[in-house]
Amino acid sequence: MMMTSVNTDYNNDLHDWGAIEHQIKCIAEAGFSHTQWIHDWEGEYLYSRSEMFQARDVLSYYGLKAHTIHASEGGQRDIFDAQGHRVPHVRQRCTRIRKDYTNPNEYLRLAGVDLLKNRIDLCSHIGANAMVLHMQLSFGMFQKNKEDMEDYYHQVYKSFDEVQPYAKAAGVKIALENLLFTPVKYELDKFERMFSRYDPEFIGLCYDSGHASIMCQDNYYLYLQKFYDRLYVTHLQDTDSVPAENLDDDLSVLHADAHRVPFTGVLDWDEIAYWVAKAPLELPADFEIGLKYSQAFESQEEEMRLLADCHERAVKFYQMVLDAKEKQ
């Protein structure tokens, strides 16, 4: 059986159960077997147990299996510039976040731990085996003062030490994602620190191919090559990348993160399939795509046509991974 997975928010991330269920229904009708639950990936929303049961039952009703989820690490990290453009606030600590497991304020840190445990509970209720976490780095702060970086990781370690037994008891792994905006050296440092401190039953990698195609301009596959043995989740998408001179322009980077379906951009999907085949990741690999994101489809027919095309690409990639496994 060919297994395929796509994100539940392929068109929007509205807090509207009607919109959520519509997307899940369409995913199932397009032929996908699995999904990554990504709704509420950003913000401080806490799922109640009744909502967790609702998510489980909606997925079950349409015959979809929950593969993974995208967890949140606190409030929105965006600000608006003088022209009214939404700009990611990632270089410094975002002070508006009230649930932040990296925060030096103990109350806010503990609230952030509660948010992580809430998403572990969501995994348990819907049957997902791993959750993605951004672990956004305030790298502008790190660049100014190395002590601030060590203080940041001190709080991270404290929080993850507390979360570890909870996650292991639930059988849920946390997969740290390679991010936009953050320079590669800080991302590598993040992964090396966390993978050396925590065992593979707790912490792994989520490879976002689109992010890598933008930030890792010398080698789109760097994180796969270095950390494939920790690869538990994927966010597979394609982009046209961005000129290297624009990497310090956060708006340019954000707009380049196109979340297009695979096989439409700069990435070598044979290379990605090779590393996915070597990894301990439980298939299928998750696609993370945006189909006319936050825009209305012209018709139900257009929506299903685009989803069917995405499913065909997911089937193709699944077969590529199987072929790569046979050759290894």
What tens digit of pLDDT does each residue of 278-303 get?
A: 999 999 999 999 999 889 999 999 99
Contact 292, 11 (CB under 8 A): yes
Please compute the mean of the pLDDT values over residues 33-57 and round it to a whole number.
Answer: 96
**In the predicted structure, residue 220 carries a pLDDT above the cut 90:** yes
Spatial separation of the C-alpha atoms in residues 24 and 22, rounded to whole Å = 5
- pLDDT value, residue 1: 78
Residue 62's identity, in one-letter code, is Y
pTM value is 0.96
Confidence of residue 250 (pLDDT cuts 50, 70, 90): confident
**In the predicted structure, residue 90 carries a pLDDT above the cut 80:** no
pLDDT tens-digit series, residues 93-138: 777 889 999 999 999 999 999 999 999 999 999 999 999 999 999 9
pLDDT tens-digit series, residues 1-37: 799 999 999 998 887 899 999 999 999 999 999 999 9
What is the enclosing helix (H) or strand (E) of 6?
strand 5-7
Domain boundaries, the chain: 5-327
Spatial separation of the C-alpha atoms in residues 215 and 184, rounded to whole Å = 7
**In the predicted structure, residue 312 carries a pLDDT above the cut 80:** yes
Task: Write down the CATH number for the domain with range 5-327.
Answer: 3.20.20.150
